[in-house]
Structure 1
Amino acid sequence: ACLKKPRYDLQPGRKRRVSSCGSPPPNMTIATRCDVLGLYRRIFRIARTWQSLSGLTDDTLKEKDYIITEARTLFRKNRNLTDVEAIKICIQECQTRIEMGLHYRIPYPRPIHLPPMGLADKKGRKFKMQERLRKIAKPVYLQSHEEI
């Protein structure tokens, strides 16, 4: 549920309660919308107070910019999702990336290892099998990225 206090829309002569999360699109609950908006706000709060691991001002500014642009890009990319399960997967991915970034003090996704025989030439069955192996080996925090 949304933890923010509800706003009041003041119109002359009457008070009307307005949800701080707005009205959700079809097939999305208000709680899910509040979770998504809360994550979005949390990312921007983290970016505002972010300090680079190296402590250099240039690195800090680059990493802050990366955090903001990555969040905007991925949230806009997934904006039109209507499937509840897909939305939950995206929320889980976002939470995982936040926690890993805070723990390791690195805003970029951690590199992953390709499975054995993960680089096959683009011919027939072997290529399709390798594509499946790469898809299975993709961690939860990289589900929104097309390329490994």
Structure 2
Amino acid sequence: MSLRQEVLHLYRCLMRLSYRWESALGNPGATEEERKYIREESRRLFKKNKSITDEKEVQDHLKEGVTRLDLAIHYRNPYPRPVHLPQHVLHSKTGKRLKGQQRKLEQSKPIYVKSYDDES
């Protein structure tokens, strides 16, 4: 399967999920809000990344999308899960250790929140 087909398949899966999603709370208002979040978040991220041509980068984004999809289905929660970073990397971000701390932060970040780098 080509990368383009994989991307389109993931997008279709996300859109189908957004129309059949049922909230774990059982509240119709929460269900509609979560459905809307899935649709808007999917569209936003796919539009943001549509100009990426590097095969490795596309595969990384695909892996992130599939992981987020699997987590949403498994935990019945479409929102990103909290990230718990090791405490030793959360010290002051000034001085000599800045590059090492940034590298440790990047390495410890789970795949399913990589797309939030630009927004934080």
TM over 0.5: yes
**Greater strand content:** 1
What CA deviation, in whole Å up to 9, does each residue of 1:96-120 have, x standing for no partner? 1111110110001111111122222
- 1:122 Cα offset (Å): 3.0
Letter in 2 for 1:106: N
**What is the aligned partner in structure 2 of residue 121 from structure 1?**
92
Which structure would you say has the larger Rg?
Answer: 1
The whole-number CA distance in structure 1 between the counterparts of 2:112 and 2:103 is 18
**What is the aligned partner in structure 1 of residue 70 from structure 2?**
99
**What is the aligned partner in structure 2 of residue 57 from structure 1?**
28
Contact 1:93 1:143 in 2 (8 A): yes
Q: Does residue 1:109 correspond to 2:109, yes or no?
A: no
Contact 1:118 1:134 in 2 (8 A): yes
Percent identity of the aligned residues? 39
The whole-number CA distance in structure 1 between the counterparts of 2:86 and 2:20 is 37
Q: Does residue 1:76 correspond to 2:30, yes or no?
A: no
Contact 1:120 1:126 in 2 (8 A): no
- The one of the two structures with greater contact order (alpha-carbon pairs below 8 A, sep at least 6) is 2
Give the TM-score taking structure 2 as reference length: 0.91
Unaligned runs of 5+ in 1: 2-30
The whole-number CA distance in structure 2 between the counterparts of 1:94 and 1:122 is 30
Unaligned runs of 5+ in 2: none
**Greater helix content:** 2
